[in-house]
């Protein structure tokens, strides 16, 4: 095959996919603002996406904060800058690692789960059944999941921020002999409101991305059990890549 033709075909396929995702996102957003609203579904999704993700997000944040403190201490000691450990741990966690790590963990847990669940519903004609029961799947299935992701991620990330900073504190105070009072004061004094807010804005965007990818790949799953598996894998990969891309764009805007 002509290489230019192959590149062109690949590019067209990419544009088609991007267009389809954009269209799906538009439909999901439209479903969010038009009644009927399915409050029960929203509460259920907030519980599943938010509450049930707390342990994995908390543990990841704790170890990330702890490892970050050790690394900054090692690097900082090369030019007598060990005292900056609390400041850099706090900023690194709140602005970058908290939102990104939490979103990536949720991409693995939530995007794949949503894609598998909705994909299985597609395979067993449950989505067609919704249509025949005069219920719009976009409003019943998609909108509550996407809204739950947008609402819950900032709360999860705020929790991850606190736990991550605490992980850094534990290592710094108990292993690196930092004074606990000074550590807390340095952390608190160094962080600005914008550091925290920008991290939470990122979290909301990541929540939208990871739930949307789960819904999109599940909704268009084809080919039975194999198709459902493929949808789950594609959802995680797409969500992870888009989270990194969005993180770069948002960081560029926020610096």
Partner 1 sequence: MTERVKIAWKNVTVGFDGRKPVLKGLNLEAHEGRSLVVIGGSGTGKSVTLKTALGLIRPQSGSVEIDGEAVRPGHENDPGVAQIGMLFQSGALFDSLPVWKNVAFRLLHAEHVSEDEARTRALEALDQVDLDAHVADQRPGSLSGGMLKRAALARAIVARPKILFFDEPTTGLDPVTADVINKLIVRQVKNLGATAVSITHDMVSMRHIADDVAMIKDGQTLWRGSLDGVESCAHDEVCRFVRGESSED
141 vs 209, beta carbon nearer partner 1:
141
Q: Least Å distance between CB 236 and partner 1?
A: 22
Q: Does 129 bind partner 1 (CB under 8 A)?
A: yes
Q: Least Å distance between CB 3 and partner 1?
A: 24
Q: Does 125 bind partner 1 (CB under 8 A)?
A: yes
| Residue choice 56, 63, 81, 136 for contact with partner 1 (CB under 8 A) | 136
Q: Does 33 bind partner 1 (CB under 8 A)?
A: no
118 vs 212, beta carbon nearer partner 1:
118
Per-residue binder mask for partner 1 (CB under 8 A), 72-91, x = binder: --------------------
131 vs 174, beta carbon nearer partner 1:
131
> Which 3-state string (H, E, C) describes the chain?
CCHHHHHHHHHHHHHHHHHHHHHHHHHHHHHHHCCCCCHHHHHHHHHHHHHHHHHHHHHHHHHHHHHHHHHHHHHHHHHCCHHHHHHHHHHHHHHHHHHHHHHHHHHHHHHHHHHHHHHHHHHCCHHHHHHHCCCCHHHHHHHHHHHHHHHHHHHHHHHHHHHHHHHHHHHHHHCCCCCHHHHHHHHHHHCCHHHHHHHHHHHHHHHHHHHHHHHHHHHCCCCHHHHHHHHHHHHHHHHHHHHHHHHHHHHHHHC
- Residues forming contacts to partner 1 in the complex (CB under 8 A) are 36, 38, 121, 124-126, 128-129, 131-136, 140
């Amino acid at each position: 095959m002509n290489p230019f033709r192959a590149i062109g075909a690949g590019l067209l396929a990419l544009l088609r996919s991007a267009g389809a995702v954009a269209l799906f996102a538009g439909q999901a957003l439209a479903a969010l603002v038009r009644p009927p609203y399915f409050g029960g579904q929203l509460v259920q999704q907030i519980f599943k996406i938010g509450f049930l993700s707390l342990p994995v997000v908390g543990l990841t944040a704790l170890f990330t904060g702890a490892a970050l403190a050790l690394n900054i201490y090692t690097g900082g000691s090369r030019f007598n800058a060990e005292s900056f450990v609390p400041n850099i741990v706090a900023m690194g966690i709140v602005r970058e690692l908290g939102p990104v790590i939490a979103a990536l963990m949720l991409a693995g847990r939530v995007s794949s789960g949503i894609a598998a669940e909705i994909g299985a519903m597609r395979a067993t004609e449950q989505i067609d059944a919704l249509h025949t029961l005069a219920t719009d799947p976009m409003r019943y299935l998609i909108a509550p999941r996407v809204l739950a992701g947008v609402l819950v991620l900032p709360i999860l990330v705020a929790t991850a921020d606190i736990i991550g900073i605490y992980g850094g504190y534990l290592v710094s105070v108990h292993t690196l002999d930092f004074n606990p009072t000074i550590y807390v004061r340095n952390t608190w004094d160094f962080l600005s409101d914008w550091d925290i807010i920008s991290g939470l804005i990122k979290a909301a965007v990541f929540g939208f991305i990871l739930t949307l990818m789960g819904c999109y790949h599940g909704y268009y799953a084809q080919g039975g059990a194999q198709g459902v598996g493929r949808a789950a894998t594609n959802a995680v990969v797409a969500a992870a890549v888009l989270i990194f891309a969005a993180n770069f764009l948002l960081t560029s805007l926020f610096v």
